[in-house]
Every structure is written in structure tokens, then in C-alpha cells.
Structure 1
């Protein structure tokens, strides 16, 4: 989830025979299955839900994170040198207009290859209880927890998803963990509700050429354990994050000179000048480098982290507006955040405590919201979209946010490679009635996708050449599917995996029914009990493909 400018050379295409994506287990460790192509391979669904909540307000964020060769969030294992080249040109462009031009051309390639199927842009449909005040959601859909007040002084409660991994910035790339990290850490910059950014820990971030940067931090800042926040706290954290290719966010440091996809100790071109100053040498000029520095992967780490990273991940110590209350993280249930008295930045909490609560379903969370037993809900279930404004009155929230929904088909999936694969991907896209689904299922709180980013992000366009593949066109979809069948006849069921705890069943069912009705094939949703289980399966599949590729 951040700007990445180097292609890592992952030969995903050579592992086409490594996976058989026609079936799926229900979570946990996949089962090896024999295929006609030779040795046993791993079974996974044809496609899986991939939503993207922007980490910082730039098109570069989603385009590099999801589709640049080798990036940690590239769930499709997509690789196209022409796309990579255009993205790199955009990242080093001398003006915003030039950057937008290159990013638009890169999206044209994505429309040809369709590593994922764009579906729609999200609007936040949420709400808050009658017990809280000053509730505001940001451009990225997260509630600004520090602003919320509660007259009776009791803890503010908010809906939450259990993180996929222990809470370590370099290994957290999903929203459950990200929400906690964003509140217990303070970065060099922070983002306002409208997506604008301002200095937090940083005193200044300066460069004469957009390639060689000098960063000065404010003096006298400390972590929640009382240890000092210094320039070395950032440099050591970044070097550690770049050291291990197994870390999900390792690739975020690829725009810094010295980075290697194979990792290694202290490889990045970072230099501590004094306690409050360090320098960063990038591979190439990047004018928007300061904008990206509010993302959690760039947060500082205390010395205690390096002594025992595993233990730290269960009880992280940050430098942000909140700290985790002792022994409050009850996995799959809740976690409590309390104000960090040592934080002196611009995001000081106005409440005494925030309890983040896990629910097994959005319907259960919404019922608690209506009963004033939950204070903040960032996603109304599909079952309540038609009524939530009436139910909540002036406590209902609906606003545009930088969230993009798609489903991904991994490179190497049977029937989805080469010319056959391009035909099938386009056919699937044209078989989905996005306007009907967004109107009926989402009650207009979603907008059919027209590109690969978000209308909330500067540079968005609804007229990129090739975007017509997102139009509902049943006749063309059938024609393309038949052309693909002429190459290799389709058999089996098209499965779309999703996490059942996120309120996705209704739209997944509508999507696969649209595909089934248009193309005349078997298609079905495949639910995983929770988000962590789905992500584990996806990441296991990626590791299997990489292992097969050598």
C-alpha cells in the first residue's frame, strides 16, 4: 500500500501450472490436488474479493500497490513491463498533469489485461449513536476517533475487524490492523478528513531535487514507554521493514536507493545526521514522497521492538495519540485504546477511551447501533441500506470515500491465462450488471467503476480508453466467452470467494447470478467465516505460486 517504483522481477507467469484454482477449501491449509498438467498443485477459488482503502491520497497508492510487479499487495501476481514502465514514469514526472497522463496510459493496459475486475466505488454508509458527538469520517472511511466525545465519559465503542497479523507496521496491510496502528502511532505527516496532509512528528521535509530528502523531526517527543523518538527511530524501523521479503509491506521501501527485493540488513540509503535529522536518497525523483509518509509502514519504532518483534506485535508501543490498554486485546473480540499522555501532536484525544469491537456480522453491529450499544459503525449492512437514513436521522452518515471494490483472478489460474484468459476476463466484466447491483443491493451508496482508482482522488477520469469493458454488455460477453471456449472449453463452477463477516454476501450473490444468467455457466459465491481466514488463503496461494516459480 504505497508508492513503489522498482519492478521486482517476479516471474508469476512461469508458475501457471502451480495452482489449480477451480476448487477451494473452507479455510486453513489448502489441500494438494492432482492436475493434468503434472505434479500436485494447490486448490483455491477462481476469484476472490479485493477491496482497496487508499492509504494516502494519490492514484499512485492503488496502482503501485495492487498491480506493479512484485508489490506485496499484488494479489493477482500481475506483471506487465509496459505497465511498470508507465507507472515509474508517472512517479518521476515533473508535474501533476504529466503524472496523470502516464497513470492514465497505465490504466489502459490494465483494461486490456484485467488482472482484477473493477466493480464499483464505495460511499461510506454508516452512523453513530445518540450518546456521542463530533463524529467525523475521513476521506479513507476511517472514523477520526480522537475527535469523538461522549458526555457521560464512558468509553466510545466502534466497529472493528480482527487484524490478520500481529500489529507491526511493516507487516500490516489490512484495515483492522491499520486502524489500530494509525491511532497508536504518529508519522512524519498525518491526513485531515479531506485528504490534505500536515506535519505531525516532522518539523520539515525538504528537497531541492525531489530525490534527495532531508527530514527534521520535532525534538522532545517520546514513545508511550517514555523512550525518545529520534531520527534513528525512523531509520532503524525503515531498515528493518526492508530487510525481510516475507514482510507484507517490505516492497514499500523500493523507491529508496539500496533497496533489494531479497532484503538484507541496512541496505537503504538512509543516514542519521543527528538526533532530529536524517536523510533519504530515492532511486529517482518523486515529488509526492512527503504525501506518502503518513502511511503506517513509515512509522518509527522504539528500541523495545528490536529486542522481541513477536512480543511487540501482540502489545505494540507507539508514539501516537492513543496507546493500547494493558491486556485489553482479546482476539476476535475487542481491543481498548486509551490516550497516550506523552503525545504532543495535533491529534490529541477528546475522549477517555475507545473500545474497538469485533462483530460476526454487520447486521449484529447495526442492531447494537440502533440500540445505542455501539457508538460508531463505518458500514451499514446491505439489509439496512434502504432504511438507515430514516432509522438514524441526523446520525446517519453518507459520504464519498476513497474505497475501490473489485475481484481478483490470480495469474496462472486455469482458463485465465493467455488469449483465452483475456477473453474470459473481459466476458466476466461485461456480464456484470453494475448499475442494477449498485442501485438494488446498495441503494445507490455505490457507483459503478469507470477506472482503477477513485473519484475522490485527484486525477480520476471516467473516459480512459478501454473502460467500455466495464459496461454491462450481455451480447458481447457471450460472444467473448464463446471465443474463449473455442480455445479451451470451460468446465466446472466459477467461484468468487469473500469474507462472510463483512456484509458481502448480497452483492456477491448478485454478481455471480449476473454472470451465471448471462454466460450460462455455473457460478457461486464462496464464503469464508472471517476476513483473516480469506486473507490467509490468498497469501498462501501467492506463496505457493512464488515457490513454484523458484
Structure 2
């Protein structure tokens, strides 16, 4: 076998790959290899290698159709105002960012050739040369300055205005160089610029309906709340450009209808399906599921500044009463990863994997409830369908409590008005947090003493000082150590119980290839159209 297979070379591999693409049968392929000097016993190895290569090699051409779940007549092609998943998908197709996050959560350059700093406060951005907009205009520093300044203009209504406010200076140094100055050092700036809203638009743009960007696609049709059709940009600056020739994107809000559209062949991708629909897809041949766990979670919030959360043992008792595995398996049907009561998921490079989640232990919970003096009392828990799976989670807590003499009164309230009337206000209630690209954003938003969404009213001077220290440090090892300790502090001291990180599942046709997980969310961080391909 060895003598025969050594006569086979990579050019012959390419011949087999080409035959597979043309639809050759397994029998025909084995005959071809035998004629080329490959023993029958080795043919399977060669065939497997060639098949894997074909599967990983993008096929060019075709029209892709995909269905999201959210749409509105307020749909926009203005990245600063994007708020729905359909907005993000369109903007990712039409524009580019200075940086982007790859599947491993690592920040890489996109329109920027480099982003450098000596002090994490003043940053120099060097742009790629030769990049053009859809109308032929060449990308320059003026476009970047205009795009970033829009987020600071209150009249624009940027969704990331609060994040952009740390930028105190933006100026063009030369046609391909921009200098960005921050109010205080922040080593995360390159990652922040990878957020969907920080897409680069053309200098002076006021009409965004045409979607003039530097992206892999151009607008053919844009009907807000209805559908969008895009065609491949033949002058895209990335080698090879998009794989598909065109794609259509629209929303089907009903989960069952969205899945039926996939199964009937009307679409190649049905985004963000429920566990119930997942079983239906799995039962049908020719369809697969793409799972992304990027840090979305529903948490139980116990305010530390009021009863019963002001009693530390009550909070500890609740953390032992949460059956994380049951929530993962029963409530979310396996579409989750067990979490450890802090917001930095495994999708983030600063995740503290050594911090273990508290095991379900009713006896320990009872000990702490007795110590708090609350065992036997009725404690209200506010839940709503507005916070994903919170009603089911509350029911599990109630059942577990009843077995040890702890009473919980589930107060199920309507979704309408939940976030304004109950979230952050009720003594014990649920929240639902979407993924954020940096540890600093999550901690600043949710756990700093002055955090706008401090769900449990956690306050720690030590934590606040560590947050500032980590934010300004350019030493990655130091940042990882600080963020690791901060995660332990949140898990042990804050009044938030984060049982699992919830997965997003996109259902796709077996013909759709190249879809990968991304820490910015499902549908490949909403940027799938540029990277996927349709099998011939």
C-alpha cells in the first residue's frame, strides 16, 4: 500500500476534488484512484481528505435567501441607529468596521491597517490604502472622522452615544491616518470599534437609504419592514470578495412560520429558532443547526440595598438553590452553558475558567436561609416572558424551595412595561442581558458603583478601582489577572445569580456552508452573508 500511495500527489488530490464537485459517485472515484496507483485500502483516506477539502472550499455564485425574526418600518441602513438583528445583517453586508472580532473573540484589523498607542489614551489609526466605496470614492481619514463624530452628535441618536462619549478628540493627520484621543486610557478601544454601530460611512452622508459603503455587497432593494436584496460588490477590497452573487433578507416573526419556510426550501437560513422548533429541524434530513453561545443570559437579581437582599445569607442561599444543570437541560433543552454568577462568558478572552459555578445544594441553601432568619417566610419573585425563560426558572426555584421549607411567591407580570416598571426596581426579579464585546463594558454597565444598570445595587470601592486600572492597562497578563479577580468578586459578593449563558440557534439548509460561531451573536455575528457559500 505504501508504494502505491506514494505515487499519488497533491495534483491528483485536486483531480479527485474536482470530480467530487462534478458529482462523481464513490465507485467512480475509487476506480480513478486505483488507476492512479492508490491501493483500495488507502482509497478511503484519500477520498476523505478530498471530501473535507471540497467541504471547506467555498463555491462561488448563487442567490441566498435568509429569514431573521425582527423587522420594523423603522428599519435603517444607518449603522449608528441600528437596533434590530435585521439592521445588523444589512449593515454588516454594506459597510466595514475599522476592526472586527473573529470566531475566537480576537480583535483583528479590517479597514484599519493598524491601531497603535503608547498610553491607551491617544491612538493612531492607519487605514488600508486603495479601499473604495460603492460609488467609486476612495476611503480616507475624512470618512473615519465623520463616522466617529456622528456618535457624539445628540441629534444623530446613535445607539452607542454613551460608549462614544469617552472620545474627546478625532482628527485627520493625513489622508490615511486618524488620531483618536480618549478622556481616560482605555486599552479596549480596538475591540470597541468592532461593534456593529461603528461601521464607517462616507463623509457627509445624510441619505442612508442607498447604503453606500465599502462592504461586500451593494443595495439593490431596500423596503423597511418588508425585505432587502443585495448584490455582490465586484470591487470589494478583500481578496476573492463574497462567495454568493446576491442575497435576500427579510423577517418572519413567528418561529414556526420561519422554520417552515426553511423546511419548504423558501429560505436557506432561519435565524434564532426555539428549542421546540429545533426538534422539528433535527427530524428532517438535509438541515443542520448552528449554535452560538456568546454571553446572552437571564439572571435573577436580588437588590442588596433592600429586604430580603440586605441579608447576605439570603443571597448565598439563593445561589445554592439554583439548579443550573436542570435549567440548562429542562428549561433550555440543552441550549446553554452553565454559568458562574458573573457576566463574562467563555466566548470572551478574559473569562475566568477557574471560577466554578456553585453546585445545587438545597441543604446549604437551607442553612443560609435559616441563618438569615427568612426560612418559612414568603418571598416575592417577579418574573415575566420579557426576560427569556424567567418564568420557568422561577418555577424551579419555587419547587426547590418548597422541599426545604422556603416559600416563594411568583409574581408573573406582563412583558409590556416590564423593563420600565420592574427591572432594576423590584427586590427580587429577573433581567436579560445581551452579549457585549468587552469585559469593561459589561462591568461598567452592570457592576460599577455608578453603573446605569446595576441590577443588584452592588457597590465596592475596590472593584471600582480595579475597573479603572484594568481599563487603562496595556499589559494583557495584568488585565486578565484583574478581570479574573473581578469575576470572583461579582460571583461571591453581588446579588446577581447567572445560572447559564443562553445559546442562540440558527437553522440552516445543508446546502449552506461556512457558517461559524461568533462572539457578537448568531448568524456569524450578523456578518454571515460575506463569508458563507451555497453548495452547488
User: 1:154/1:269 Cα in 2 relative to 1: closer, same or farther (>3 Å)?
Assistant: closer
Q: Is the 8 A contact 1:234 1:299 kept in 2?
A: no
Q: Is the 8 A contact 1:170 1:241 kept in 2?
A: yes
1:214 aligns with 2:124: yes
Deviations 1:189-214 (A, max 9, x none): 23444444443222332334444322
Preserved contact between residue 68 and residue 250 of structure 2 (Cα < 8 Å): yes
The answer for unaligned runs of 5 or more in structure 1 is 1-132, 137-146, 257-267
Give the 5 Å matches for 1:154-165: 154-162=63-71
**TM-score, structure 1 as length reference:** 0.55
- Between the aligned partners of 1:354 and 1:387, the Cα distance in structure 2 is 26
Change (3 A) 1:349 1:150: closer
Which is bigger in relative contact order (C-alpha 8 A, separation at least 6)? 1
Q: Is the CA contact 1:183–1:321 (under 8 Å) kept in the aligned structure 2?
A: yes
The correspondence of residues 372-387 of structure 1 with structure 2, limited to 5 A, is: 372-386=265-279
- Which residue in 2 is equivalent to 1:458? 349
The SS at the match of 1:498 is coil
Question: Where in structure 2 are the equivalents of 1:404-415 lying within 5 Å?
Answer: 404-407=296-299, 409=301
Task: String of CA shifts for 1:105-155, please: whole Å, max 9, x gaps.
Answer: xxxxxxxxxxxxxxxxxxxxxxxxxxxx9999xxxxxxxxxx98686x334
Number of corresponding residues: 367
Return closer, same or farther for 1:252/1:135 CA change in 2, 3 Å cut-off. farther
Contact 2:201 2:213 in 1 (8 A): yes
Change (3 A) 1:353 1:286: same
Cα deviations across residues 296-348 of structure 1 (Å, max 9, x unaligned)?
Answer: 3332222453x4xxx63x6643321123333x3341x4333333345323582
Greater C-alpha radius of gyration: 2
Give the match for residue 78 of structure 2.
168
How far 1:275 sits from its partner (Å)? Answer: 1.8
Task: Answer yes or no: is the 8 Å Cα contact 1:431–1:514 preserved in 2.
Answer: no
1:434 is matched with 324
- Contact 1:415-1:490 within 8 A present in 2 as well: no
State which of 248, 255, 262 in structure 1 corresponds to 2:159: 248
Within 1, Cα distance between the matches of 2:319 and 2:252?
32
Deviation per CA, 1:353-404, whole angstroms, max 9, x where unpaired?
A: 22223122323222222222220134342114456445346x4245554233
Deviation track 1:510-540 (CA, whole Å, cap 9, x = no partner) reads 21211332343332655649xxx98898999
Deviates more, 1:512-521 or 1:158-167: 158-167
Contact 1:216 1:276 in 2 (8 A): yes
2:174 to 274, 277, 283: 274
Return 5+ residue gaps in structure 2 as ranges. 1-52, 402-406, 426-430, 432-450, 453-536
Partner Cα separation in structure 2 for residue 424 and residue 356 of structure 1: 48
* Residues 328-343 of structure 1: pairs in structure 2 closer than 5 A: 328-331=222-225, 333-343=226-236
Q: 1:478-510 deviations in whole A, cap 9, x for unaligned?
A: 6666777869x86766223427xxxx5xx4442
CA–CA separation in structure 1 for the residues paired with 2:374 and 2:89: 48
Contact 1:157 1:355 in 2 (8 A): yes
Deviation at 1:241, TM superposition (A): 0.5
SS at match of 1:238: helix
Corresponding residue of 1:496: 384
How many angstroms apart in 1 are the aligned matches of 2:59 and 2:261? Answer: 19
Match of 2:257 among 359, 364, 374: 364
Residues 201 and 285 from structure 1, CA distance in 2 versus in 1: closer, same or farther, beyond 3 angstroms? same
1:318 maps to which residue? 213
Cα distance between partner residues in 2 of 1:409 and 1:354? 42
C-alpha separation in 1, matches of 2:197 and 2:86: 15
Aligned to 2:99: 189
Post-superposition offset of 1:425: 5.7
SS at match of 1:252: helix
Structure 2 equivalent of residue 229 of structure 1: 139
1:419 maps to 310
